[in-house]
Amino acid sequence: MNIFQYPVQAEWPALQQRAAQQQAQDVEQRVQQIFEDVRQRGDAALLYYARQFDGADLTSGLRVGAEELAAAVTQVPAELQTAIRQAHANILRFHQAQIPQEERVETMPGVTCWRRALPVQRVGLYIPGGTAPLFSTLLMLGVPARLAGCPEIVLCTPPQKDGQVNPIILFTAQLLGISTIVKAGGAQAVAALSGGTESVPAVDKIFGPGNRYVTAAKQLATRYGVAIDMPAGPSEVLVIADESANPAFVAADLLSQAEHGPDSQVMLLSDSIYILEQTKAEVERQLRELPRAEVAAQALQESRAILLRTPEEMLYFSNQYAPEHLILAVKNPEQLAEGVTNAGSVFLGHLTPEAVGDYASGTNHTLPTNGYARNYSGVSLDSFLKKITFQRLTSEGLLNVGPVVETMAEAEGLRAHARAVTLRLEALAGGEE
């Protein structure tokens, strides 16, 4: 880790720069080609890409069958099943508290307005496979999708080389009651979800993380009228640590993000040079013990440890950076947290590692990255709902609000708007209801 001591604010933008996003033009062109191929050839294209990218020959088809689903349960250790069930319960409990209540508001006598939350009808969940099959992300997306009441949930995840889907993902899908499971990964899965194929239903909104091809594909999907959860990028964490922090804890938190991928970014801010130096030493020591040390080491090349003067200055830096994950490893985390304005999710105190949010505390780990925490929230129950407003007027209501509308419509030169009210007022004056 590179240590920067007391940089002036003019130098902050350079220190806050994310690792270069490899959204090169060739990536976008390749994704466009995949979209066109999937739209033209449907399942045949998906089977081709499964062979090319996943090394899987899907002789039994793209959909996961009942036998494969049933067999998955026997392949997941009991201890892991128990852990997943507990995480599911915590995530469900947290998201249940987000269920909106419908309230009717009388804005003036006889004028009643209300808003109703309805589920997105068809949602697609993309869950990466490969070296780190993210069954935890399936929990984070599947729980609110189910809770929102989405009638159709389609899960896409890449097959293993043997043509099977990772059994832990299938176990989790069964726990969530998701039965439409497609063996497709990468940009081709997003293309299939956005337009549909013989085996893949088209959806209204796509959720889930992925590499730069998946990210580019999700952005392209929006051009076809399909919504996405949020702009996504490499995982990131920023830790604010004062002299009370435990360097071993902080180092573990930094590495827990660095091991996600070579383009992940970790940032450490402290007002203690001792904490910075000891944490750097701990990072180097713990790194040697990690199975994914090579991946984490690449991410650490873009990491920064920055010495600042006060907690307030560190928080100001963090709010400018707008991290996906923010850890407040300080004496008074609640007090400092009052000043947080830009962050995806915040972890308070020395005993709250970011990893608990990734798996089982109950909050959602699908969060805005790359500075989008300035203007995006993480996934929640709201992400799977759309809000429709309603209004109804009685005769008293029309008499009260009608003249207001007539005056405003005439001022904007929209005579038909005014007439829509005037005709009704005249009918009321003539005794019609």
The domain locations on the chain are 25-101+121-228, 233-377, 395-429
Q: What is the mean pLDDT of residues 370-379?
A: 94
Which helix (H) or strand (E) segment holds residue 328: the answer is: strand 325-329
In the predicted structure, residue 359 carries a pLDDT above the cut 80: yes
Residue 358 known to bind ligand: yes
Percent of residues, the chain, with pLDDT higher than 90: 90
Residue 400 known to bind ligand: no
DSSP 56: -
Q: What is the mean pLDDT of residues 238-264?
A: 96
What digits encode the pLDDT tens for the residues 258-277?
998 888 999 999 999 999 99
Contact, 242 vs 270, CB < 8 A?
Answer: yes
What digits encode the pLDDT tens for the residues 51-97?
999 999 998 899 999 999 999 999 999 999 999 999 999 999 999 99
pLDDT band at 231 (very low <50, low <70, confident <90, very high): confident
Least confident of 167-176, 228-237, 348-357: 228-237
Percent of residues, the chain, with pLDDT higher than 70: 98
Whole-number average pLDDT of the chain? 95
Pick the CATH number of 233-377 from 1.10.260.40, 3.40.50.1980, 3.40.50.2300, 3.50.50.100: 3.40.50.1980
Q: What is the mean pLDDT of residues 228-235?
A: 87
In the predicted structure, residue 24 carries a pLDDT above the cut 80: no
Residue 88 known to bind ligand: no
Residue 126 known to bind ligand: yes
Catalytic (active site) residue 325: yes
CA distance 246 to 254: 13
Count CB atoms within 10 A of the CB of residue 255.
24
25-101+121-228 folds as Rossmann fold (3.40.50)
Active-site annotation holder among 324, 350, 396, 410: 324
Q: Which two tokens stand for residue 252?
A: 């573990």
Q: What is the mean pLDDT of residues 232-258?
A: 95
Bigger pLDDT: 156 or 431?
Answer: 156
Give the β-pairing of 385-393 and 345-348: unpaired
CA distance 388 to 432: 30
pLDDT at res. 133: 84
Distance from the Cα of residue 263 to its chain's centroid: 18
CA distance 48 to 412: 57
Local structure of 306: helix, strand or coil? strand
DSSP 290-312: -TTHHHHHHHHTT-EEEE-S-HH
Nearest to 124 by CA among 211, 35, 191, 213: 191
Active-site annotation holder among 302, 325, 354, 365: 325
Sheet order of strands, 205-207 included: 180-183, 152-157, 122-126, 205-207, 227-228
Give the β-pairing of 111-119 and 104-108: antiparallel
Residue 372 known to bind ligand: no
pLDDT at res. 233: 78
pLDDT band at 18 (very low <50, low <70, confident <90, very high): confident
